[in-house]
Structure formats: C-alpha cells, structure tokens
Amino acid sequence: MEERFLHLEELRVQRDLELEERRVQLEQRRLELEREHEFRMFSIFAQMLSILKQGFCLVPGPAAPVPWDPRGARTPQGPEQTSQGFSGLSNPGTKHPQGSAFLSSRGNDIKFRHAVTQEGKSAYLADPYDEDKNPTGIINFGISENKLCFDLLSGRLNQSDMHNIEPPLLQYSDWRGHKFLREEMARFLTCYCKAPTPLKPENVMVFNGCISVFSALATVLCDPGEALMIPTPFYDGISNSTYLYGNVQLVFAHLDSKITETNTRPFQLTVEKLEMTLQEARSEGVRVKGLILINPHNPLGDIYSQGELLEYLEFAKRHKLHIILDELYMLSVFDESVTFHSVLSMDRLPDPQRTHVIWGTSKDFGISGIRFGALYTENKDVSSAVAKLSFLHGISGIIQYKMAQLLRDHDWINQVYLPTNHFRLKAAHTYITDELKTLGIPFLNRNSGLYIWIDLRRYLHSGTFEEELSLCRRFLGNKVLLTCGKGFQCLEPGWFRLVFSDKIHRLQLGMQRIRQVLEQQAQELQQKLSVPRQLLEQEGQADSTEESVFVPRQQGPMSGTKMKDLIGLLHQQIHSSAWLQKGSLEQLTQEQLGALDVLNELVSKQ
C-alpha cells in the first residue's frame, strides 16, 4: 500500500508539472499572438497612411504582402522591400503535449501534421456536387483533376487490347516495373520529351503515383533533418511526400508578384534568388542536398525556357545539388504558341548524375485514380537505392499492362486524345478567364496546366493569412472549393488556385457561387472602410496580356470631407487600441514611427 501511495504521489506531481508546463506554453503562445496582432495592426495603418501621403483615395486594392515565416512569425514589410529568401524549414520539429502514449515522437508529429488544404478536401469528398444525385454539393475548383476527357479514356481503356491476364501479371515482378512497361515508358518519354537520343529502359522505374517517387527520392538523397530547396508557391503534396518517410525538410525560396528590373513577370524564379536562399540556409546550419523544380509549374502555370532551365541546372551543378524535375503537366500545354521544353530534350545535361525527372499519367491523361508515376535517372546508385523502396510502392501487373498499351498507342494519343484534350482545356480556360475579366479579378495567363493562379488580395481588409483562410472558408460555405495561397506556401496573402478542367455547366455554377461570395465580401469591406460603393466599383478592365492581367487603376485625390472622415476613423481606431498603451512603441520601425507622426499631424489639421 505504501508503494502504491508513493506511486500515486509521483503521478500527481508529474501531472502537476505537465499542467504547469502546458500553462506556460499557452501563456507564451498568447503573448506571441498578441505581439503579432500589434505589428499587424500598425503595419495596416502605416500602409493606409502611405496611400494618404501620396494623395490617393483609399479603395480595396491589392494589399501589401506580409512575409510568412513557417516558424510562426509575421514581419512587417515596407513597400521597397523585396521578398525574403530563406525563411526556415518546412517542419523544424514540433512537440505535442497532448500526443498519444501509443505513438513515437515521429508518430505524434505525423498524426498532428495538418495541411491547410485538408479541411476543404475533406469537406468536398464528403459532399461532392452531382447534377442528378447531389445538386447542392460542393463544386470542385480546388483539386487538380482533368475531368474533360473521361469519354475518351473510358473508351480506350475498355478496348479489347486492354484486357489480358497472363500468369506473369498475377505474380511478383521486378519492383522497378515489368520490363515491357519500362521499355514502353522509355520510348514514350523519348518521343514526347523530344530527347535527342533514345532514352534507356534501365533508367526507368515505375511507382504507384508521383508522390511515391518524391518520397523515395527524398529518402535516398537526404539524411533525416537535411533539406531540399523549392521555390514558392508550389504544390503542397510535395511537403508531405518528402517528410513523412524520410524526415526531409524543405527550404523555401520565396517568390513574389512584384514587377521590377530583375522580375520581368510575377513570381519569376531567378538564379539570384536561388543563390540567396541557399546561402542563408547554409548560414543557419541547414544542409541543402537538392533543388525541386515543377515545369510546367503548379500552381503558377509558368513554363521555363531552355535558357532558364540551363541556368537552374548550372546553379545546381556549381553547388553539387541534385535537381528533381517534376514534369507532370508536360502534355497539358494547350496553346500552340507556347512551347514546353523537357529537361530530357537537352543535348547535354550539366550534371546528368544529379538530374532526376518525374512524370505520370494522373494529369496529362486525367486518370489520377490509377496511380501511375515514373522516375527517369541515369544515376545507377540512386536507381538501385530507390528500387529497394519500390517494394513499398509497386503497381499491379494488370495495371502495368494497361499502361503499356496506352503509352504505346501514339496514333490514338496524337490524333484523338491530345487534340481533343487541348481543345477542351482551351475552351474551359477561355470561359473562366472571360468570367474573371468580367469580375475584374487579376490572374496569371499561362495557357498550361489545369488551373489559374488568381489574385483576390483586394478582397482582404488588412491582407493577412487569417483573412485569406476566412475567405477560403466562405467559398466552401457557399459550396465551391478553392485552394488558398497559404496551402502553396505563397508569400503574399490573397492568391488562390482555381482548377478549370471540368464540364461547362459545373464551371458556370461554380463561378456563380464565387461571384456571390465576392459580392458579399465587397459589401463588408465597404462597411468596414466607410467608402462609398461607387468607389469600390471603379476598377480597371481586364485585358489579355501574357502576364498578370487586370490592374486596378488609381483613383483621384479624396475630397476634404472624405479625407477628414478617414483620418478621424484611423485616429479613433488607434486610440481605442490598448496595445499602444503597453510600451510597444519602442519596437516599431522608423518608418512606422514616421507614419504615426504624419497621422498626428493630419489629425491636428482637421
């Protein structure tokens, strides 16, 4: 009994310590959130005052970007600052006080790992739109799937040559894939990547999806805790695929939408940005082993030129970095004036032993449910190590046979599938872009992929990721799924990816629901800012330029009455905020203190 009593006493003391530790953690988090709120509020006021000093009317235009640090901090950014490069690891490690005793630390970390996009995807899968069975369900503009050519694919996959069952197809095979499939895959890539010489089947391995390829490559190229570098924004599935098995982190090279002398287009990737990110990561003790590039890009739709590709490859060679090329959308370029250049089309690779290419059928053929991906690498050590992991990611022999039949039918691909798919993608893209222009929504016009990168920053009151997520949930509440920019690690709050590869009646209904949400959002912004409605409607008209389209035109100077009302509103907001009374002024930047002086001067003149 005495031992039992002592044991219970030990448990009580341990519980009290855990509760106290939890209380301290919650208090620290509260202070962090309070500090973030302070800086965010004053940053907003500084931006508004900057507009006032320039003599422009305050309208809900694109909010100034607020850099996001994955470790939780937001930092104010002045108008002349460029985007930050390295901003920490994608997952620097998290302790979970309420973790399960049945799981390891890694198990708890995986259990509590949460993607920004998961909420919307789960809601859609539970309530998908169907014109007959569920007309009030959620329209899917968020998950990148091509739903335009089911008739073609179902017809082709049901033809007699697809149906074959032989003993080898029902037995274990080489985990890299059946020889007949790897031979067909090599011929396919040689043809459609326009390789200067035939690619070798022994350099091909097949997996149950491209995410599995990423996972295997990350595990064999990096030790746990090491990192791969990737430009942002980027497809969010890569984060999980590199981390869950191999515990490999991602280092973000943040891109922004600002046009400068060096940035000739929004979100342009340059070697200078890669160099800066790499050096800053190394200075913080992070060992970067490789670079991931997506071409054509998801979600931007960018297609790298041969010159740009060569620059990125030379950069990787200088620093002895592996380079992983995701070319998953290479056949989804639907504008004849745009040319895609595969890295496999180059006459000479700067570092072929560190260059690895990924492709699959999920996007280009609209059969994501079949789960088929392939890796092409000339590095025998890499392929040998990855082959061991292929044991976990094999494909059934029957599916391998069907894929070989599909990939070898170049006549059907060239004469039936690709022309029809490109025509339907272009038609859907044209409809959505026309709707966006009518709504005055800026977007990147790239004519590739299954999606459009759209700019909804002017619908955010203060330009924060909290507001972005709130708008995303408002879309979901109105039964349309969009993916917000934070899900792609975008630096600037307010960008969304809209997937358009669907039938016209679903596109029409989805755009109606989006319009309803934006009209309601604009009305609330009008009320918050006390700006007359006609000013909210005075927006520029969209054009069809190659780059970002639609730029809201600047308004004329405000009248004295409107200026007085706005200054009074700002003055009231600041003086009613307790945070200015708590000694935070010493933490403000010189620019922000200057903004406060300007405000006080303007108030005194009213």
> Which superfamily does 118-149+439-549 belong to?
Aspartate Aminotransferase, domain 1 (3.90.1150.10)
- Please give the order of strands across the beta sheet that includes 483-484: 483-484, 495-499, 451-455, 443-444, 548-549
pLDDT of residue 33: 63
Element (H, E) at 289: strand 288-294
CA distances, 464 to each of 65, 68, 144, 498 (Å): 8, 10, 25, 20
Output the six-digit token pair for 327.
Answer: 């070319």
Backbone angles phi, psi at 571, to 5 degrees: -60, -40
Which region holds residue 304: left if phi is over 0, alpha if psi is between -120 and 50, else beta?
Answer: beta
CATH number, domain 174-414: 3.40.640.10
Instruction: Give pLDDT, residue 4.
Output: 84
Note whether 118-149+439-549 and 174-414 share their fold: no
Helices (H), 70-228: 105-112, 118-126, 150-157, 179-192, 210-221
What are the residue ranges spanned by the domains of the chain?
Answer: 1-57+556-606, 118-149+439-549, 174-414
One DSSP character per residue, 26-42 reads HHHHHHHHHHHHHHHHH
Q: Give the pLDDT of residue 555.
A: 33
In this prediction, residue 81 carries a pLDDT of 36
Q: What is the mean pLDDT of each run of 10 residues along the chain (606 residues)?
A: 84 80 72 60 54 42 34 33 50 67 88 84 94 96 96 96 94 93 98 98 97 96 96 94 92 94 91 97 96 97 96 98 98 94 97 98 96 97 95 94 98 98 97 96 95 96 94 97 96 97 97 97 83 46 44 36 44 44 46 54 51
Tell me what pLDDT residue 236 has.
Answer: 87
The pLDDT, as a whole number, for residue 484 is 96
User: Which two tokens mark 523?
Assistant: 């009305």
CB 72 within 8 A of CB 64: no
